[in-house]
Structure 1
Amino acid sequence: MDPQDFKDLLNRYATDKCAPDEQREVERLMLKYPLSKNWKWKSELHKDRIKNNMRKQIFNQVDRDLGKHIRRKSYWMTAVASLLLMIGISTFFYLKIHKTINDEQVIAEAINEIYNDVTLTDATGRVTVLKNKEQILDLRKLSTQDSKWNPSGSLNTLRVPSLHQFALVLMDGTKVRLNAGSSLSFPTQFTAVDRTVTLKGEAYFEVMPNHSKPFMVNAKESQIKVTGTKFNVAAYPADPRIITSLIEGGVAFHINQKQYPLKPGYEIVADGNKNSVEMKSFDQDQVMAWIDGYFVFNNMDLVSVMKHVAKWYNISVTAPRKVPAKRIGGTFPNTASLDDLLKDLELLSGVKFIRKGKEVQVVY
């Protein structure tokens, strides 16, 4: 039987639309091949969610059949339920459950982190783990203290894992603070005609003025050009948006061969999925709260809230495609445990969270 025809047959059986001969064929195959031994799951939470849904669907089907052909169908459904309870997961309701899973949205996905501490990889490939040290690295001091520090213009990379943030002072005196799950690549010395760094994630910059050598931040497909200013850039790889928020001074945002000048109190939001660039005012307290160790949610929708939470704790989050429209407000320390934060958000949002390790499911 063609694989697609077989899927269609299973789907008809799951929805009680099989002809008698088709029903007998499905039941024969269920006895012959009761389990899928090579089933690949996205996660344990995904596996348990399907398992619970399958059990629910099986017993619902049994209940529906009691008033009809109870002996025949009930026997088969109960047999499959027994297999499910004793051994694990069968392939029986795959299509029906797959449809249920597709009704969910993935808000965030955890990333694999090699190190649990901040690391500095120099131009030679040497990795230094910055553990139990001050939460700031001044490259001007490092160049005099470490004889192995490469004085060339080659690139170095500072990486900050989840649950951390870290401050860096570049050789020109520019101050950079990196948020969790972020990295910054930079030359040891700014020997080129400009001062260019590359950001993945989120960082706050206080650029040392130098009109003859502008400071450039490469973030995804964009470039931010400044001479001396204070601004925040959020450009996480998993987020289609690049958000540049200007606190003080002036910057020029470049993307798709177009330039967008920005003034203090405004931000540029470039959305790669929508192919749009929007300029708007922003809430400085909310944007800058991460530097002081807080989440600030000012009338923010639940999906946006969970995206912020996921970046800090490095968790995967799934939710129904239609989540409650209620907005959330409040200030929360990011030093709290994830479980404590989720409890607070449950009270404010009216939803429930199911957590298994780094996987969180929104239910309501």
Structure 2
Amino acid sequence: MERTNEQFENLLNRYLDKSCSLEELKELFSYIDLPEYRERLEMVMDENYKTLVPGVEAREINWDEMFSSIVEDKEKRKVRSLWSVWMPIAAAIVVMLSVGVLIWANQQQKKQKTSTASVKKDIAPGGNKAVLKLADGTEIVLDGHSTGILANEDGTKISKTADGMLLYDAAKSDGDETLAKNHINTLTTPSGGQYMLILPDRSKVWLNAESSISYPSAFSGEERNVTLVGEAYFEVAKDKQHPFKVKAGAAEVEVLGTHFNIMSYAEEGQTQVALAEGSVRVDLGNNSRTLIPGQQASVKVGSTQISLRNVDIDEVTNWKNGLFQFDNTPLEQVMRQIKRWYSVDVVYQGVKPDLYITGMISRSNNVSKILALIEETGGIDFEIGDKQIIVKKAKGGTHD
């Protein structure tokens, strides 16, 4: 195929909006052999990064190594659709937010650095793990349980599906629903665990690691109430007569039918509600704010104020799609996510690095691969121990 400026720009745009196929990706990288196109690619990369961290230049990229890492891993997978093509590519290595490797430092760092993340020991990623606690106190370890019906609470069948979801099938009845309302169940994910839940009203919930959600085995009354600790993504079934309410920390989120993410880990020091679709109201009792899609509300622990900001919803919610996604995120916050997903302790030796990360990578990778990519920013090394990651200043690094 003849190489043209028009085709190159088309491929580049498709790459940036994550809609290109593997063949288009290969074609785009074929242009890199030509200096004029390589310069254009690097210019776009640099311009995009400067909008994230003004005054900082992107480091040099080993394009050949990056592309081979994408293609070699990608070609082991089957292709089902254009979008499913992109996601395995995203799962292969760090994917482009602008163009180029999506791991950056908050300093000018052009010198390539050899990764030193210890591979003598490694830690596998988390997976579908959770414990269901029934109203009578019975606990069921879902990842160790066979599929099928787990329990029956006053006509509500609770099942584990073949694809690893927890499903509630509430029988409709004209009888007394008071007892059903008091049948509170709790689904809890451990460190290194996640799980998907379909509530009795057919609302869908994706529960992240170190999280729990409590809910009735059958909704009754005027409201659908649940309580969340940790993080979850909700796709709420529409029911105008019965508002859906989530209690998370000091905040209460009320919706009729919408898609949103709530993060309320105690160690993060705040509750965050990000809206993907529809409308939600965040209520603190004496203060409330209504969100529109693309907005995130934040409530710090002990505060009575609700702050709003615009966010990239993909960045907030891509964890449920199997991806870590960061946008100028402080290293400490990145490491807390790694801690929860890989079920490890994170220990800092010396001064904590003043480092910010922008990037996207699959949560299905072993931890060594993620740490090695972060190390490429320069000035930081990791050591993997037994259920522990040690963060330390690199030899010859520039961090204080």
Q: How far is the alpha carbon of 1:296 from its aligned partner? A: 1.2
Rounded Cα–Cα distance in structure 1 between residues aligned with 2:350 and 2:295: 31
Deviation string for 1:269-301 (max 9, x for gaps)? 111166653200111221111111111122222
Partner of 2:78: none
Change (3 A) 1:360 1:139: same
* Bigger share in helix: 1
TM-score of the superposed pair, with normalisation by structure 2: 0.57
**In the alignment, is the contact (CA less than 8 A) between 1:118 and 1:131 conserved in 2?**
yes
Rounded Cα–Cα distance in structure 2 between residues aligned with 1:346 and 1:172: 46
**In the alignment, is the contact (CA less than 8 A) between 1:226 and 1:250 conserved in 2?**
yes
Map 1:278-357 → 2, pairs under 5 A: 278-319=307-348, 322-357=351-386
**Residue type of the alignment partner of 1:257:** N
Partner of 1:182: 211
Question: Is 1:228 the counterpart of 2:265 in the alignment?
Answer: no
Rounded Cα–Cα distance in structure 2 between residues aligned with 1:275 and 1:322: 33
**Residue type of the alignment partner of 1:125:** G
Q: How far is the alpha carbon of 1:140 from its aligned partner? A: 0.9
Partner of 1:124: 136
**Residue type of the alignment partner of 1:180:** A
Q: Which has the higher contact order (CA 8 A, sep 6+)?
A: 2
Deviation string for 1:170-226 (max 9, x for gaps)? 111111111111111000111132110000111010111112211000011111011
Rounded Cα–Cα distance in structure 1 between residues aligned with 2:313 and 2:353: 26
Q: How far is the alpha carbon of 1:339 from its aligned partner? A: 2.6
**In the alignment, is the contact (CA less than 8 A) between 1:153 and 1:191 conserved in 2?**
no
Change (3 A) 1:152 1:221: closer
Rounded Cα–Cα distance in structure 2 between residues aligned with 1:345 and 1:314: 19
Matched-pair identity in %: 32
Q: Which has the larger radius of gyration?
A: 1
Rounded Cα–Cα distance in structure 2 between residues aligned with 1:120 and 1:325: 40
SS at match of 1:140: strand
Change (3 A) 1:251 1:118: same
Query: Tell me, which stretches of 5 or more residues in structure 2 are unaligned?
Result: 1-127, 148-162, 173-178, 394-400
Rounded Cα–Cα distance in structure 2 between residues aligned with 1:237 and 1:363: 25
**In the alignment, is the contact (CA less than 8 A) between 1:302 and 1:349 conserved in 2?**
no
**In the alignment, is the contact (CA less than 8 A) between 1:202 and 1:233 conserved in 2?**
yes
SS at match of 1:238: helix
Partner of 1:7: none
Partner of 1:200: 229
Change (3 A) 1:360 1:276: farther
TM-score of the superposed pair, with normalisation by structure 1: 0.62
Change (3 A) 1:234 1:338: same
**Residue type of the alignment partner of 1:129:** V
Change (3 A) 1:253 1:275: closer
RMSD (CA atoms): 2.3
Rounded Cα–Cα distance in structure 1 between residues aligned with 2:293 and 2:131: 33
Runs of 4 or more consecutive aligned structure 1 residues displaced over 6 Å after TM superposition: none
**Residue type of the alignment partner of 2:389:** V
Partner of 2:293: 264
Query: Tell me, which stretches of 5 or more residues in structure 1 are unaligned?
Result: 1-115, 144-149
SS at match of 1:190: coil
Deviation string for 1:149-187 (max 9, x for gaps)? x95532100111233321111111111111111111000
Partner of 2:239: 210
Q: How far is the alpha carbon of 1:256 from its aligned partner? A: 4.9
**In the alignment, is the contact (CA less than 8 A) between 2:170 and 2:200 conserved in 1?**
no
Change (3 A) 1:325 1:237: closer
Q: How far is the alpha carbon of 1:232 from its aligned partner? A: 0.3
